[in-house]
Structure formats: C-alpha cells, structure tokens
Structure 1
Amino acid sequence: MTELHSTNVEPASWSWGAMPEQNRHARGHEFYPPFADLATIPELYATDGQAVEEKTLHIHYFTGNSDWYIAEVDQSTGLAFGWARVNYPDGEWGYIHLVELEELYLKPAAQPGFLALPIMVERDIHFTPTRAADIPAIAS
C-alpha cells in the first residue's frame, strides 16, 4: 500500500506524484527529503560540464554494501543522476530512479534461529550536501 506523507506533499507540485512511500513503516523514516531540500538539488543536466569531483552530492542512500549519492534530479519524473556502488568495491556515475530505489524491498526467507531482516534502501538522514571529491568512497 502506498502512503502519502504530509511533510513531503505540497499542492500542485512535483508531477511524479506526492512522493509515495511504499516501505515507510518498515524503514522507520522518510525515504525522500523534505520538498524544500529537494528543490535545492539541480535539475538533470544542470551541472553538465562540471568536473564530477566538483559536483555537490545532496542525498545519500544506502543498504548493505551499496551506496547511492544524488547530484541532480528531474523534478518531473524522479530520475536522478549521481554516483552509485552496488555490492561492488567500485562505483560509477549514472542515472538512478528514486521511486524504484524506494520500492526495493526484499524479504529474506525465515530460518530457524536466525533473525530475518528485510533488505531495503534507506536515506542517510544525517548526510549534508558534500562535494564528491570529499567523499572517501568516491575520491579513492
């Protein structure tokens, strides 16, 4: 079931919906930052020509050994551009669809004697906008 959260909903804005969050209860926090923060992220292609190490990364998402850092967002679709490392030691720059990232939810098979936790992507709620060159995983 999709939930709408009034802290993120502004009337007549953001055509990719009212920022539905399908896994809000399991996650325990909002996946999307407040609209005021989203509005400060450059539109897609707005930082073309800027060296990648100089791009500002505005949001950090993570799960297990995976990280996604967001530099640009298309505010009409939720498509983002940034740096990602998905279960691999190295990462790369590319496109990320935020709605699909939020929807990722894998429930592991229950095994007797083991705590089975779901796998889902979470937002680093303590992350502040940071230059790519200043993030060790990207700079190395």
Structure 2
Amino acid sequence: MSQLLWADGVSTQYSLISIRDFGTADNPVAETGEEEVIYSPGQIFVASRSDVDGDVRVEVWLGTPGPDSGRRVMDSVMNFSSGIMSVTDPGDLDEESLRLPEPGPWCVSVCVQGEPRPHTVSLFLQPGEPTEIGASVRS
C-alpha cells in the first residue's frame, strides 16, 4: 500500500516537470528532445502537457505503483542528499516542495497518465539502493 506524501498542480511553460534534489548540481540533457524522461541521479525531467492545456498534477508517494498508477516510464535510483525535493517547471526557481523522511538514495518509479501528453505525473519512492528489480533495502 502506498502513502501520498505530497500533491499539487504545476504549470508547465516548457511542457516538462523538474523533480530534483534541492542541493544538486545535476542537470540532465536531452538527446533527441522526444524523451518521456530525462534522467540524472539528482534530477529528472518528465515530459508533460503544456500550460495552455492546464496544470499538471504531480503526486509523490511512499511505496510502489499500483495497477491504477498509470504507465510506468522510469525505474531508477535518485540521490536526495539534501533530503529536500523540489518539483517545478524547469524555468522556475527551485523551491522546497517536500522534505523526505530521510536524505540519501531512493528507488524511484515514475508513472504518467494522459494522452497524448501526461496530465498526471506520479513519483513512487522507496528508501535505499535496489538489490534486484522491484526490491530495495534500507541503506
């Protein structure tokens, strides 16, 4: 069972959602411009709908995606060394969106809903480093 930690609507001038560690200098770079997710260990960009279509709902969950979570577009590990997550449009200044239960590595799954561009982005967090696909342990 997953627990909702944070949810809000984000206006997306650049049709991207930035999810990053508040203290990171990571800046992922697109290769084709058609990616659904652009990843670095401290920041990800998730493609979304434009602000002319309305805000994008972003949800941060503690746990794993369920059958109604949407289409999974990423499974990886992010390093939230500051313990603070910022969720914004990439053109906006970083602001504190959520203090995580603890700083460090988190197994991250990203799911999206909406066609042709997502109107909902859900981030699922599990503490620790992955030990195998779908599993994690506390570090």
TM-score, shorter chain, exceeding 0.5: no
Bigger radius of gyration: 1
Instruction: Give the structure with the higher percent helix.
Output: 1
Instruction: Give the structure with the higher percent strand.
Output: 2
- Please give the TM-score of this superposition, normalised by the length of structure 1: 0.29
Higher relative contact order (CA 8 A, sep 6+): 2
